[in-house]
Amino acid sequence: MAIKKWTGSTSGDFGVAGNWQDFSGGAWIAAVAAPADGDDIQIFEGRAIDSGLDQVGGNLASLRVSGNVGVGTPGSPLIIGVSDGSDTYCLYQGRADCYLSAGTDNIDKAIVDSPGPGTLYLSGGTVTALECTQKGYVEVAAACVVTNI
């Protein structure tokens, strides 16, 4: 398990190690691998993530999106794998749009705490709890099941 931060320094591909930094020894260092099982992902700045979007094979612990980084596109969301029963959460505080799907998995809690104008688009999987704490926007497609709001 690692804490990984998006930089987008080489491309907009989520699956390229050179686009990430690892938190190690109290400092951010170049990542040796793209996000994998159990990682906590932070997307704060850098170029938009527009390729390598099908990441369902890795089970992330958490995903935090803030700042002006666009994630995915209307026809191609970032598809993340999440570990069942691991209290997986997604925190969206972005000012750019984020297209996200959990595929056939479950996100335990999705929190929308965005100053706007970005929108979190949920297009697949199940979200056990969806919480909106500010003026952020969220749109849920028919293929995404939300059990508690």
Bridge-partner residues for 63, per DSSP? 41, 90
pTM score over 0.85: yes
Residue 57: predicted pLDDT:
65
Residue 77: predicted pLDDT:
95
Residue carrying the six token digits 């994998």: 36
Per-residue DSSP letters for the chain?
--EEEE--SS-SBTT-GGGEEEEETTEEEE-SS---TT-EEEE-SSS-B-BS-EEEEEEESEEEEEET--BSBTTB-EEEEE-TTS--EEEEEESS-EEEE-TTSEEEEEEE---SS-EEEE-SEEEEEEEE-SS-EEEE-TTEEEEE-
- The segments of the chain whose pLDDT lies below 70 read 56-58, 83-86
Residue 89: predicted pLDDT:
84
Backbone torsion region of residue 13, taken as left when φ is above 0, otherwise alpha when ψ lies between -120 and 50, otherwise beta: beta
Residue 83: predicted pLDDT:
62
**Distance, C-alpha 146 to centroid of its chain:** 17
